[in-house]
Amino acid sequence: MAADALIVIDLQNDFCPGGALAVTGGDEIIPLVNDLIRNTEHVLLTQDWHPAGHASFASSHQGRQPFESIDMPYGAQTLWPDHCIQGSRGADFNSGLAWAKAELVVRKGFRSGIDSYSAFFENDRLTPTGLAGYLRERGIGQITLVGLATDYCVAYSALDAVEHGFATTVRLDGCRAIDLGGSLETMIGKMRDAGVTLV
């Protein structure tokens, strides 16, 4: 039987209250996530890891504001406040997260010209992170996702995981959402339709 893995998505300071792109209640999930970490053999983390001046930052586009959308060579891109800049405190994992058990940290968004929501692909949908190969080589066929934010990095990771053939569960009680313009309802529907188990 395939092994299970827990993937903790972007539980970083900038996505928690007080951070540059804070998700409401983002730190509330930490006790549950830590409990899941303690009770799961294989634990992996993702870490948003942007260079300064990243193309997804509103500050990189004159006259643009955070949360506006622009067209990039790879498609529509929501513009964000500057966040999770490499080496900054904001990019660090939340100090309450029991992250030391993690076997692998997948850093994403480090290419200056392209954003990355999914743990599996950059937003061009072509450039892989290598996570799928890592999981397969380890004999892991089932994954559970928790973290931030439900409707962006968690949902895109879940959809890609299913596409790669992994049995995928999202613990909604272990996630919190940004919910821009109904994005939470939209992405929950997409996950359900794709066969993601929502708990």
Q: Identify the active-site residue in 27, 84, 115, 153.
A: 153
pLDDT above 90: residue 52: yes
Q: Would residue 84 show up in a list of annotated catalytic residues for this protein?
A: no
What mean pLDDT value characterizes the chain? 96
**Mean pLDDT (whole number) for 23-49:** 97
Q: pLDDT confidence of 1, banded at 50, 70, 90? A: low
Tally of CB atoms within 10 A around 52:
13
Catalytic entry in 10, 48, 115, 151: 10
Tens-digit pLDDT profile for residues 104-130 = 999 999 999 999 999 999 999 999 999
Give the mean pLDDT of 78-93: 97
Catalytic residue among 108, 115, 160, 175: 108
Cα distance between the two ends of the chain: 22
Which pTM was predicted? 0.96
Please give the average per-residue pLDDT across 41-61, as a whole number.
Answer: 97
